[in-house]
Amino acid sequence: MITDPCRNSNPGEHSSTEKGSDKTWKMASVYLALSLFLSCSLAVAVEIQRPRGVSLSNRHFYDQSKPFTCLDGSRTIPFDRVNDDYCDCKDSSDEPGTSACPRGNFHCTNAGHRPQYIPSSRVNDGICDCCDATDEYNSGSVCENTCRELGRKEKEILQQRAAVAQQGFLVKQQLIDEAKKGQEEKSRKLAELQESKDGKEDELEALRTVKEAAEAPEKEAKDQHHKAWEEQKAALRLEKDKARMALAFLELDDNADGLVSVEELQTHLELDPDSDGTLTEPEAQTMLGEARQVDQTAFQDIVWASIKDKYQSETEPETPSQPETPQDPPSERLPEEEGEEDEEEEDEEDEDVDAEEDGKIPPVVSQTEKPEKEEEMPPYDAETQALIDAAQKSRDTFDEAEKALRDLEEQIRSLEKEISFDFGPSAEFSYLYSQCYELTTGEYVYRLCPFSRVTQKQKFGGSETNLGTWGSWAGPEDDKYSVMKYEQGTGCWQGPNRSTTVKLTCGTETAVVSTSEPSRCEYQVEFTTPAVCQEPKDLDPASHDEL
């Protein structure tokens, strides 16, 4: 049961056992073969005998001189039961040219275009599935052989693609050459930076020594100045305390006899040790060191230290928080008396100020007053200032050198990172580094920065959304550099982090050509670049083996 697969040039031929002996049919077959090969040198067309629906690669299984064994080896049948429109084999291999088996496949030779398999259920169903019409050999349908036209159109498309691929491949070669020069330049620059870094480190250590040598005398001189200032401040505080003590003694010595007695001390209720509102005679005597009265020297040595934090000078106004005493309720004072007292206090304050200006009585700070502003430290002497200026100059020089070294180290890290990237077998993708490409759609602006990240931003404002940062090359094993993967982008609400797959296709230009979101939070970008273009090869879509 052998037939020429090229009998499809005459759809009216229905017999599956016809050997194609008709002379006219043979001439048509030869013409078709000549057209397929597009060669005027072919003088003879060889007919390859095989059952209908069998591919050339499987014809050796169908030898009409011996019984047929199902391709799955399940059984053997007489050969005349091949293509007899009855399914004998479980794998449907005995009916390659009929629709008898549910799982069968029919092979379309499609000379002039490309061969294909169709389900055997489509054989003789009245619809032409094979462009050479061989699937409708017994349906009565008149099918036109369109293989040559389809082949011509596909060839035109492939030729156009080939032209783009050829041009892109030439650009790729230039990219490879530039990448090679760039890698060499980067390696050379890295070596120079490393050498410069070594020199900067040595220079920095030398400047550190100079700085430390300048800072030692500076510190010593400043410490001496600060120590003297602290001693001076302590002396000033002591003098102020003595002056305040002297004023307190004068104020407590009501009878001006040069002594402060228990009775005189009792007039200052703020000194009450147990805060019960009264200062008893025993309490006052205890303050005086168990004496009935003390002179100024004993007052300074024995009494003042225990009362100075509570003592309220009579010349200082009371604060609002000072508790009112029964002896002097504010409600019983007449306005005239208040005015007179205010005038008296003002006069006393004026007298105090005059006394302070004359240098007789140093100013006194009460615990109820706001603390005086801390006196400023006097400026450094000329010698100390010169040491400070010299040390500061050495620090500035050191800081500049340290910053220069940090900048140099950052350049080295950046360059090492770039050199370490996998830019393809010949570094053809290195030109994409530090570049960004955008595509504006109806609603968003997409931005792809190869080897960095992918972002999405609303067209009319708003912040950027990170769709993923550089992860790795993710193409199939035989085409690794055809896909980029960007991961760990901004998290979706109640969902995963965004990620983007970038599919690289051959093109003469470098551009983002399309974007989509096939799954929630998973984006896809099509990116054209000459870096993936391959040198074009045979573009004839027809399979010359299937004749």
Buried residues in 209-232 as b, exposed as e (16+ CB within 10 A)? ebbeebbebbeebbeebeeeeeee
Give the DSSP letter string of 221-279: HHHHHHHHHHHHHHHHHHHHHHHHHHHHHHHH-TT-SS-EEHHHHTT-GGG-TT-SS--
Q: What is the pTM of this model?
A: 0.52
Q: Which domains does the chain have, with CATH numbers?
A: 5-145 (no CATH), 185-313+375-420 (no CATH), 430-532 (2.70.130.10)
What pLDDT, in 10s, does the model give residues 405-417?
999 999 999 889 8
* pLDDT at residue 322 in the model: 45
What mean pLDDT comes out for the span 107-121?
Answer: 90
What pLDDT, in 10s, does the model give residues 448-476?
999 999 999 998 888 899 999 999 999 99
Q: Which of the 8 DSSP states describes residue 314?
A: T
- Is residue 134 a contact partner of residue 113, using CB atoms and an 8 Å limit? no
Residue 194 contacts by C-beta under 8 Å, 6 or more apart in sequence?
412
What mean pLDDT comes out for the span 418-447?
Answer: 92
Q: Is the pLDDT of residue 357 over 50?
A: no
Nearest-angstrom CA–CA distance, 152 and 159? 10
Q: Is the pLDDT of residue 546 over 50?
A: no
What mean pLDDT comes out for the span 8-31?
Answer: 35
- Is residue 469 a contact partner of residue 487, using CB atoms and an 8 Å limit? yes
pLDDT band at 273 (very low <50, low <70, confident <90, very high): confident
- Other beta carbons within 10 angstroms of residue 462's beta carbon come to 11
- Longest C-alpha distance within the chain, in Å? 160
Nearest-angstrom CA–CA distance, 524 and 467? 10
The vertex-322 CA angle with 319 and 324, nearest 5°, equals 125
What mean pLDDT comes out for the span 151-161?
Answer: 84
SS3 state of residue 325: coil
* pLDDT at residue 102 in the model: 87
* pLDDT at residue 486 in the model: 97
H/E element holding 161? Answer: helix 147-252
